[in-house]
Amino acid sequence: MRRVLVVILALALSAVFPLPAGSRPAPSGVRQMRVLTSLTGTHRWYQQVHGGHDVLGGWYAEHYDAEGRLLRVDDGRVAVRGAVAARPRVSGRAARTAAGGAGAGTDLVLLPRSRARLAWAVYSTEGIRTLVDAATGAVIRRDLVVKEAAGRGRVFDPNPVVTLQDESLTDQKDADYAALQPAYFVRTLTNLDGSGFLRGDFADVKGTSGRAFAADLNFLYGRSDTRFEQVMAYHDLTTAQDYIQSLGFTDVNNEPQDVKADQFGGDNSFFYPKQDFIKVGKGGVDDGEDAEVIWHEYGHAIQDAQVPGFGEGHDAGSIGEGFGDYWAVTMSEPVSGGFEVPCVADWDSVSYTTDVPHCLRRVDLDLTVDDADGRIHHDGQIWSRALWDIHQDLGRATADTIILEAQFSFAPDTSWADAALDTVAAAQSLFGTGAANKVRNAFENRGIL
């Protein structure tokens, strides 16, 4: 974790001469990516550049309080050593060929190794980034860069297992069978743009076979119709953003989130930061039929909107998965009837689990850092348990306000301890010492602090 505190002189000057957010000149060698506003201040994010090219993994951030005073600088810039060629010898087309064919995008970047070099970053539609040496055309490496796991509208809310409190339900090859009928709800779909598509202020949804369309804005399908999952995605993302804004946040992924429903087999879903979209998969119980899977993936989109490039390294990756699980649970809680609230994806998981209750993962397991085994989905349950304990101690709205506020200050490659300290600080700033002590205690119980 590359965290640098603002020098004492800068703090002293900012206390005497309050700086409006944005007035501090950025250092050389960076370009501004994003300016975010949280409940306690402003957060400016920059991409490191060199010779006009983005430096892979290089970033810089400034955090201001509500009065515009500079609080802290987080410096993730990396050293660029050696002479770097001004232009690539290998064309972008040749790089795409070397990477395996047409991709979703191709960027020229700088790799800051012991000897820096230009490389083509070729992104596939499946979320794989292939780095190709811009001088030789050789493939340097491949990385998976997606974040995994999944009017009126007819929906499951959150899913049939929870609504019916019935662990015996099964997929039955997408059949819309009789036992599932009481699990359907007709919900109001707010914030639509009136076009007749599932497109609005907070979600823009399409499917494999095109967009669902209803001129009268009535999207009343059953699960055997693939358009049902588009309605689920629109409803769930809009519900999540409505909740976020009810907490006072206006700059946490406040945009139409692109979603592609029912996209591929393999029973998997992911958030793809490069193109800022969520893909919801099919196979077994299709992921788009379970709101908790959709909310998990939206959790990744939330974090990427707050911290560009979030999730580098084991700790940050685990925090991402843990927050996604927690977000699914906190969104599901009000419509769960109290049934197995800490269980994530009760309906989706009936296709691949045998134990009852059926769960993809849980947020209430008694895990500590000593139980970490290097798998980010498993280790994420350490982080989600801490968040769940905060939720239990402070209540849903207070806990979620603290958790969202804290994430504005995370670094892309934050450690568990640094992220925990940011969360304690957010609790102190928003709700005082009593709340901060409970938050700290939750992280201490997990061995994080």
CA 125 – CA 266 distance, rounded (Å): 15
Tokens of 302: 């939330």
Q: Is the pLDDT of residue 21 over 80?
A: no
Q: Is the pLDDT of residue 373 over 50?
A: yes
Q: Is the pLDDT of residue 251 over 90?
A: yes
CATH 1.10.390.10 residue spans of the chain: 152-445
pLDDT tens digits, one per residue of 184-234 = 999 999 999 888 999 999 999 999 878 999 988 999 999 999 999 999 999
CA 188 – CA 388 distance, rounded (Å): 29
Name the pTM for this structure. 0.85
CA 399 – CA 323 distance, rounded (Å): 12
Q: Is the pLDDT of residue 2 over 50?
A: no
Ramachandran area for residue 162 (φ above 0: left; ψ -120 to 50: alpha; else beta) = alpha
| Cross-strand pairs, 143 | 129
pLDDT tens digits, one per residue of 259-318 = 999 766 666 788 888 889 999 988 889 999 999 999 999 999 999 999 999 999 999 999
* Residue in the structure block whose two tokens are 């974040």: 147
CA 65 – CA 120 distance, rounded (Å): 38
Average model confidence (pLDDT) across the chain: 90
Helices and strands (H, E) in the chain, number of each type: 10, 17
Q: Is the pLDDT of residue 11 over 80?
A: no
- State the pLDDT confidence band at 256, using cuts at 50, 70 and 90: very high
pLDDT tens digits, one per residue of 109-162 = 999 877 899 999 998 876 788 999 999 999 998 887 776 543 999 999 999 999
Superfamily of domain covering 152-445:
Neutral Protease Domain 2 (1.10.390.10)
* Residue in the structure block whose two tokens are 């007035």: 23
pLDDT for position 148: 55
More confidently predicted of 41 and 263: 41
What SS3 class is residue 384? helix
Q: Is the pLDDT of residue 6 over 50?
A: no
pLDDT tens digits, one per residue of 93-106 = 999 998 887 666 88
- State the pLDDT confidence band at 83, using cuts at 50, 70 and 90: confident
Ramachandran area for residue 184 (φ above 0: left; ψ -120 to 50: alpha; else beta) = beta
